[in-house]
Amino acid sequence: MASPLRYLTEAGFLGKFYIDGEWRKPIGSVAAATAVVNPATEQPIADVALGDDHDVDCAIAAARRAFAGWSMTPPAERAALLDRIHALVLERLELFAQALTCEMGAAITYARRAQVPLAAEHIRVARDNLANYPFVTRRGSTAIMREAIGVCGLITPWNWPLYQITAKVGPALAAGCTMVLKPSELSPLSALLFAEVMDDAGCPPGVFNLVNGTGPIVGAALASHPQVDMISITGSTRAGVLVAQAAAPTIKRVAQELGGKSPNLILPDADLSRAVPLGVGAAFRNLGQSCSAPTRMLVSRSQLAEVEGLAAAAASELVVGDPLAENTTHGPIANRPQFERVQTMIGVGLEEGAKLVIGGPGRAENLQIGFYARPTIFSNVHRDMSIAQEEIFGPVLSIIAYDTVDEAIEIANDTLYGLGAHVQGTDMETVRAVAARIQSGQVHLNYPDWDPNAPFGGYKRSGNGREYGVEGMEEYLETKAVIGFSPIARYRVRKSIAL
């Protein structure tokens, strides 16, 4: 099998966009490209074309033309397309995994085990939900119809490139929408491979379109465009604000999955030998580059010393290194700006007086090249410290002590964010009661299996709207009430009034 770079180069996709069922060169007035940098080597590995508002206009026009036909296709036809997409993603798992490794540093074993298979699951779930969804229901004499909202602009991030694409494309297709995808310009290779999957799966021209570009140019053009009916963005809170502001004049729907600073509340009766190591693993999943990573571990003050020892032992077992090595558990941070952000915040934690349990600033041991951060754990962290409040987006865990469960819940909610949360404990009645008091779109109890049907989204500044499951598809649907839909019901109402 050819490497993804060779494959994309030979196919000619690096300098093109996918618009109206064809691979096209940019038509913008100023030709531009960006270098994709391998974070393990710090070297550029490919140049990818960047679009502008002219390319966006072309893609939106194609999506608008395709909408009338696609939105009226029978659900079975849309489900069949999703089925073909799902099969092709799994068939090309290794190609996708290698692309993710070279574009954003995911350990190859993690890309194979999680990044690609979980992305495929979003397509499967969209297909299955579509097969059973009641697009028309009755409420007395009124019909409640759920219809595709229209042309959607999809903006996806660099940290879970393929996973976030399928989390949006799958339900949008199921709903009957057409779309223009803007993947992150920092990790665009897997998106180009996905566009080829869409083409090979037989997606009708114009239903799916891809334009690479930057947020300030392509993202802003999508958000402000009067012919776009909805924007779905996954990214930073700052980016979400900018998109919402650009979208406001056209009153389009904006669904946002943004930042997080998720708590992991370990109750006093929890099995620490299980709760702490799994908590470290959850916090450092994808090297901490996940919006919902539980990077605040809340523990009873009387158990603090024991927790520190267990956490340090768990972190010391992580293998940071070459992402293509089979024994590597964690590769490099995805890009230089994020690596520098992580280094800055580790320094801030030291300046604020937090106790360094393991890790610290600088590259991981014996690594001189590459954006390899050291898995870092702080203890004696106070709730008002920057490392307890700001999203770091890297392998940095803050252990915060509490004296009572009520105080722990208060600390858990003491953040601008509310995307994810975890609660660990033996007494399930207490665990559930604590979960009910946490302000978060998802709460995980005792490290359950991932559920692709569980709606995912945020409270507060973590965004609005939901992805995954039925709720994820409903974000792409508009509600229409047809009153008097049932003639029999209308006749009976009139007769009762006459009497």
* pLDDT (tens digit per residue) in 189-206: 999 999 999 999 999 999
Non-local CB neighbours of 422 within 8 Å, separated by 6+ positions: 262, 263, 264, 265, 279, 282, 294, 443, 444, 445, 447
Q: If pLDDT is split at 50, 70 and 90, which confidence band does 209 have?
A: very high
- How many helices and strands (H and E) does the chain possess? 18, 22
What percent of the chain is modeled with pLDDT above 90?
95
What percent of the chain is modeled with pLDDT above 70?
97
- What residue type is assigned to position 443 of the chain? V
Compare 365 and 298 and report the one with higher pLDDT: 298
**pLDDT(497) > 50:** no
Q: CA torsion angle for 52, 53, 59, 64 (degrees, to 10)?
A: 170
CA 60 to chain centre: 23
CA distance 459 to 473: 19
Q: Which residues are tagged catalytic? A: 257, 291
* pLDDT (tens digit per residue) in 148-187: 999 999 999 999 999 999 999 999 999 999 999 999 999 9
Neighbours of 69 (CB within 10 A): 14
Structural contact between residues 86 and 123, judged by C-beta atoms closer than 8 angstroms: yes
Q: If pLDDT is split at 50, 70 and 90, which confidence band does 29 have?
A: low
pTM (2 d.p.): 0.95
Element (H, E) at 209: strand 208-210
CA distance 358 to 282: 17
CB burial class (10 A; 0-12, 13-18, 19+) of residue 68?
exposed
In the block, tokens 């692309």 appear at: 99
Which pLDDT belongs to residue 30?
61
**pLDDT(494) > 50:** no
Q: If pLDDT is split at 50, 70 and 90, which confidence band does 1 have?
A: low
Q: If pLDDT is split at 50, 70 and 90, which confidence band does 488 have?
A: low
CA distance 126 to 104: 26
Structural contact between residues 361 and 345, judged by C-beta atoms closer than 8 angstroms: no
* pLDDT (tens digit per residue) in 129-140: 999 999 999 999
